[in-house]
Amino acid sequence: MPTTERRADGRASGSGAVTPVLPESAAEPAVPPDGRGDRPSPAYGFPYLPIRGEIIDRLVHAWQGRLTLSVSPAALTLAFADWAMHLGNAPGKQAMLADKAMRKLVRLMVYAGAAAVDRDCPPCIEPLPGDRRFAHPDWRLFPYTLYAQSFLLAQQWLHNATTDVPGLSQAHARIVPFVARQILDVFAPSNNPVTNPEILRTAIATQGMNFAYGLANWTEDVTRLMTGRRAAGLERFQVGRDVAVTPGSVVFRNELIELIQYAPTTPAVRAEPVLIVPAWIMKYYILDLSPENSLVRYLVGRGFTVFAISWRNPGPELRDCGLEDYRRLGVMAALDAVEAICGRQPVHACGYCLGGTLLSIAAAAMARDGDDRLKSVTLLAAQTDFTEAGELMLFINESQVAYLEDIMWESGFLDTNQMAGAFQLLRSNDLIWSQVIQQYLHGHRPEVTDLMAWNADGTRLPYRMHSEYLHRLLLDNDLAEGRYRAEGGPVALTDIRAPIFAVGTRRDHVAPWRSVYKIHLLSDTTTVFLLTDGGHNAGIVAGPDRSDRQYRISERGPDDRYVDPDRWMAATPARTGSWWPAWADWLERQSGAGEVPARGAPGAPERGYAPLCPAPGRYVLEP
């Protein structure tokens, strides 16, 4: 990869590789200018070795990060200090909190008296939507109902205490309620076997064996973690055997990607191919899970020639690979290969999550340079404006990013375990505490699904690329504000003329659908927006037979007036079923070149693109 320079602050500039250790500045003297103090007498024969304080700081932060799940202690301390000082200087807010605390105590006492004689009396507070911890009927029994009601009242009061504090900065106003809620959840009565009636009922039914089974599960999990083995049950899904099994071949490989072309299953195929750009934060086969959940297989069955990028799992050797390398060696290299194999046919490009963000950058740069190879652009749960990037922004501020950069600097990448910890915190009730209760207190292992197996198969992120992503996209929002540069020049999404199909998911905590909806504000082309139920991953993986799903869809022309997301939601009727057929129908309408006879095998050996190995390839199997 090409070399580049470092800015004075140590971050990379331009594209290409950088050296991991900064050289001494040319302006910095090799020895103290006065020849005293730090420089020992030549009589002792010791050379002058200046202390590199930056390296020491980074090593200390990297060590700390292993204990803090990569969360900066300084960022948390500053947030709570800001909250405490502003709350301490708000006597009106304090008086309101004291009044609320007294009112909640009285409500609880009145309810306790009523619940002691009537188990069917209405609760004094209901859980938040989506909180299923106290849904079991046993939680209506006395005294367990008091435990649940006390916790919910305390949760509500704590929310009041950590929000709407006058003068608190916006970033800290997001962090403090989140962290306070995580701490309170530790003491939830549902997490304690003595105060959880469901666990007690299980213990009675199993004569206490549930705790023995839970201890065995915990011991197995710790052993697997310490020995580097996958979590229990994941052996059911092996890549290439149970998931990522759609037939195809790797037809191109460079140092960053493998390009997979899937074998046709119909006698004729659409002349215009589909290129899928997945996110590099996880393995590509989220879109090629088990056959009934494979979007790739579905597209092939609809008569499309499908290509998919499989990103390499980077190690220290790719520490200096940046966002521009991902665009150039990823999207653009794949487009060149697709063009060589299929001829001069326009391509329907589809990007998922970060892959969609990268695809939008590439599409804007191509439009700027007059490259018209894209027939359409599909963005699946992909953001182009990061001002409302969901709960993930809780971990994104200057203090946290600097801390994270030091952690990545030591190893050259961000490890999968560090990323997994942050995502689990975002949904701690579902991903941490519910699993603790189910596996260690009830002693029951949940059935592993293909999506769960994929979710446990993470990838690393190169140091430089992730640093640029955090600064240029999340912190500075350069793409939406016209400052992002590719091939040496700025890119603007308004240059894209290919029609856009954007998909959001209603319960997405990574790319909130209102954030995805902002593509309407950033594009001047025909845009179809589809909103499906489900979360960031489960909402996208919706097989064509899923009659339990719903979606909303509408199309906006380049001259139509903007409609805000709330009005759009109210005016757009829901449709039953998977969103996959609606997207495939749209792709067919965009494909104007008709059909051609299907080739017998992937690749084009006569053009230098002979199959290298069967799908799913080599990169996806790298640990």
Identify whether 353 is a catalytic site residue.
yes
Give the residue carrying structure tokens 């990013």: 401
Q: Are 600 and 264 in contact (CB under 8 A)?
A: no
Tokens of 47: 């050379």
Cα 296 from Cα 276, distance rounded (Å): 9
504: left (phi over 0), alpha (psi -120 to 50) or beta: beta
Give the residue carrying structure tokens 């999340």: 474
Tokens of 558: 């380049």
CA 47, distance to chain mean position in Å, is 49
Which amino acid belongs to residue 530? Answer: L
Cα 210 from Cα 200, distance rounded (Å): 10
Secondary structure in 3-state letters for 479-547: CCCCCCEECCEECCHHHCCCCEEEEEECCCCCCCHHHHCCHHHHCCCCEEEEEECCCCCCCCCCCCCCC
Nearest to 175 by CA among 476, 387, 399: 399
Backbone angles phi, psi at 4, to 5 degrees: -150, 180
Tokens of 105: 């105590």
Strands 374-380 and 347-352: parallel
Which amino acid belongs to residue 339? Answer: E
Nearest to 218 by CA among 475, 438, 492, 502: 438
- Strand stretches in 30-108, DSSP E: none
Pick the catalytic residue from 121, 124, 353, 613.
353
Give the residue carrying structure tokens 């900065």: 169
SS3 228: coil
Catalytic residues: 353
